[in-house]
Structures are given as C-alpha cells and as structure tokens.
Amino acid sequence: MDAVLNALMRSAKNETESPVEAAPTLAAQKPSREEAEAAVRTLIAWAGDDPDREGLIDTPKRVVRAYEELYKGYERPLESVLDRTFGEIGNFDDMVVVRDIVFYSHCEHHMVPFMGKAHVAYFPVERVVGLSKIARVVDLYARRLQTQEHMTSQIITALDETLKPRGVAILIEAEHMCMAMRGIQKPGASTVTMQFTGVFRDDPQEQVRFMNLIRGARP
C-alpha cells in the first residue's frame, strides 16, 4: 500500500495543473418543468413500463423534484460559499484538515451515482475559512454531472484561487455505480484521485503528513 501511495504522490507532484471553470456552460434555455416531466414519462415507457399505472403516475413529478436537489450545484455561485473568512487565528500557521466529507454525485457518462469521501487540507495565510464552507464547496461540485477527476480539480482550484493559501491538498475516494451496477459489474471497487498545490506539491513530506492525518495517524 505504501508503494502505491508513494507512486500516486509522485504523480500528483509532477502533474501540470490547468484552470478549472467555477461554473459549467449551461444550456441556452432551460426546459420547463412540464418538458422535464414529459421526458421522464418517455424514459419510463422506453424502459418498458406504463407511465400511467398507479405506482408511476406521479413519478415524473417526483423525479424532477429530486433532480432539483441532486443537481443543486448548478444553481449556487462559488462566491456565495466562500464569501467570508476569519482573521483571529493568533499565530497559527499549520495545515487545517477536514477529512471524511461524505458526498454523492452522478457520473456524467451514464447518469448513475458515485459516492464517497473527500479529504481536504490547506495552509492558511493570516485568515481561515469556516470549516463548513469547505464541505459546502465539495457539495457544490459534487451535485452536478461529474467525473471524479474533474471534481477533484474543480474543488482544489476553487479553494486555491479564492483563499490564496500556501497550499491545498485533496484526496477523494469513491465507489462508482457505473462500475458496480452495469458494465464490468465490480461492486466494492474504489477510485482514488488526489491533487496538490503550493507547499503540498513542492514538499513530499507535507504530502506524507497529509496522508497520515487523513488516515487517522497522529502528527
């Protein structure tokens, strides 16, 4: 396992980062609720069931309401999440770690869920952000159609560009239902992605310390 982690960390250190947009390009005109519900009825019929039977008659409305919650990451701007920082931190200058942030997202290739945990750390410069805000950033990007790789990059870029810390680290581990429920059908397989900026990228010892902390080891 240590050899695998070392290889992953070397790969992340050498990775060339590219800017990630804060928000995706949206459709020019969002379909109406009625059009969305009609699309659900069509999919029910295509799957082979009767959208007019008792158990399914209200399903299109329920699905559209569920989509409003599952994909609410499209609606909220990043600025409203990271809009406030705090300067009363004394002489604190070490890393802040928030681990085990549970998230639920949907694969943009098959629109089936993937879920897992995100672990985030940063080195503040004079000011810190509320801990719940870090979890909200994870949620903001998770509640969209995603790939895990893109989500990892979006989260770290948002924190790095907005907070301007000395460095940010992120590791995401997730199980993808597109692998478990269909296709290769391998339940239990997990995917790990990580990325580093600043001191985390430049100092392998800080990467190791981050990995130890998120796995419960004492500093």
Catalytic residue numbers, as ranges: 107-110, 148, 176, 178
Please tell me the distance from the alpha carbon of residue 91 to that of residue 102, in angstroms, as a whole number: 31
Cα–Cα distance between 172 and 6 in angstroms, integer? 16
Q: Specify the DSSP element, H or E, that contains 97.
A: strand 96-107
Token pair listed for 10: 């070397």
Element of type H or E holding 62: helix 59-70
Q: How far apart are the first and last CA of the chain?
A: 20
* Surface-to-core class of residue 154, CB atoms within 10 Å of its CB (0-12 exposed, 13-18 middle, 19+ buried): buried
Amino acid of residue 108: E
Cα–Cα distance measured from residue 173 to residue 194, given in angstroms and rounded to the nearest whole number: 9
3-state class (DSSP) for residue 206: helix
Strand partners, 120: 98, 170
